[in-house]
């Protein structure tokens, strides 16, 4: 479908942190820096790890906690260095079928929510079963990239 795609993701490790009680934009900022420090060497091996995309944010309906995550690069999937910050953890995500809607521009929490609403409406209209109580935002670009930006919202297929 041109409005969305269905992707199959393999099981993979992500480095994550949960920011509680902050607005989404501030949670993303705080979470990004915690994870950035991890890849810059704030881990047991004091190892620098390449930055990967996307940066994801788990958004749950009616919840003020946001889980921010970086994908662990393929060469570190088997044994990523353990975080030394107690707020940062390695998360094993199971293989999953994910409905994805892509859009451009600078994505605000409001824009992500609007795109997630559009995607959920399309999926309901097509009778596609999905987990409606949460979605992920996925950002692919540095804040310094001005043009041809790529953002996504993800719903997990039931």
Domain CATH code at residue 34: 3.20.80.10
pLDDT more than 90, % of the chain: 96
Total domains present in the chain: 1
Mean pLDDT of all residues in 68-79:
97
Give the chain's mean pLDDT: 96
Decide: residue 15, CB within 10 A, 0-12 exposed, 13-18 middle, 19+ buried. buried
With bands split at pLDDT 50, 70 and 90, how would you rate the model's confidence at 1? low
Q: What is residue 76's DSSP assignment? A: G
The whole-model pTM stands at: 0.95
pLDDT given for residue 2 in this prediction: 80
Q: Which domain holds residue 68?
A: 5-156
pLDDT band at 142 (very low <50, low <70, confident <90, very high): confident
Angle among Cα 31, 36, 42 to the nearest 5 degrees reads: 110
């Amino acid at each position: 479908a041109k409005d969305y795609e269905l992707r199959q993701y393999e099981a993979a490790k992500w480095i994550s942190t949960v920011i509680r009680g902050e607005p989404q934009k501030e949670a993303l900022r705080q979470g990004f820096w915690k994870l950035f420090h991890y890849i810059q060497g704030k881990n047991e091996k004091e190892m620098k790890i390449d930055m990967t995309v996307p940066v994801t944010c788990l958004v749950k309906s009616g919840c003020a906690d946001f889980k921010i995550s970086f994908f662990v690069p393929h060469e570190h999937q088997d044994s990523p260095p353990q975080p030394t910050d107690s707020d940062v953890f390695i998360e094993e995500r199971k293989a999953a079928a994910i409905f994805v809607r892509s859009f451009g521009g600078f994505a605000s929490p409001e824009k992500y929510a609007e795109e997630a609403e559009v995607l959920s409406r399309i999926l309901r209209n097509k009778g596609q079963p999905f987990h409606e109580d949460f979605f992920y935002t996925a950002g692919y670009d540095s804040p310094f990239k001005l043009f041809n930006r790529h953002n996504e919202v993800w719903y997990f297929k039931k």
